[in-house]
Amino acid sequence: MPPGELISALQSDVAKDALVVTFETNLIALALILVLGTPTAYWAATRQSRFRDLVVTLIELPLVLPPAVAGIGLLAAFGRLGLLGGTLDTLGIDVAFNKVAVVLAVTFVASPFYVRTAVSAFEALDPTLPAAARTLGAGPGGVFFRVALPLAAGGLGAGAALAFARGLGEFGATIMFAGSLQGVTQTLSLAIYEQFDLDFDVALAISAVLVATSAATLLSVKLVTRWRSTSSSPIPSVASSPLSS
Partner 1 sequence: MALDLELTHTLRSFVAAVELSVGDGATFALVGPSGAGKTTVLRTISGLLAPDAGRIAVAGETWLDTRRRIDLPPERRRVGYLFQEYALFPHLDVTGNVRFGATNGADVSALLERFRIAHLARARVDALSGGERQRVALARALARDPAVLLLDEPLAALDTHTRAAVRSELREVLAGLGIPTVLVTHDFEDAAALADEVGVIVEGRILQVDTPAGLVAAPASPFVASFTGATLLPGTAAPGRDGLTEVSLDAGLTAWSTDPGEGRVALGIYPWEVSIAREIPADTAVNHVRAPIVSLVELGNRVRLRVGPLAAEVTAGSATRLGLREGEIVVASFKATAARLLPL
Residues that bind partner 1 in the complex, under the rule CB under 8 A? 126, 128-129, 131-139, 142, 146-147, 150-151, 231-233
**Measured from the CB of residue 33, what is the shortest distance to partner 1 in angstroms?**
23
d(CA 53, CA 194): 40
- Angle at alpha carbon of residue 120, lines to 117 and 124, rounded to 5°: 140
Q: In terms of CB distance, is 65 or 153 closer to partner 1?
A: 153
**Measured from the CB of residue 133, what is the shortest distance to partner 1 in angstroms?**
7
Q: In terms of CB distance, is 86 or 150 closer to partner 1?
A: 150
d(CA 36, CA 158): 17
d(CA 193, CA 37): 31
Q: In terms of CB distance, is 131 or 238 closer to partner 1?
A: 131
Please name which of 79, 81, 88, 39 lies closest in space to residue 59, comparing C-alpha atoms: 39
Q: In terms of CB distance, is 110 or 121 closer to partner 1?
A: 121
- Do 225 and 155 touch, CB atoms closer than 8 A? no
d(CA 215, CA 233): 25
Q: Give the DSSP letter of residue 185.
A: T
Q: In terms of CB distance, is 39 or 140 closer to partner 1?
A: 140
**Measured from the CB of residue 200, what is the shortest distance to partner 1 in angstroms?**
50
- Do 98 and 178 touch, CB atoms closer than 8 A? yes
- Do 195 and 203 touch, CB atoms closer than 8 A? yes
**Measured from the CB of residue 126, what is the shortest distance to partner 1 in angstroms?**
7
**Measured from the CB of residue 130, what is the shortest distance to partner 1 in angstroms?**
9
Q: In terms of CB distance, is 92 or 141 closer to partner 1?
A: 141
Q: In terms of CB distance, is 142 or 179 closer to partner 1?
A: 142
Q: 55 to each of 6, 106, 148, 171, 184, how far by Cα in Å?
A: 45, 19, 21, 25, 33
d(CA 142, CA 56): 25
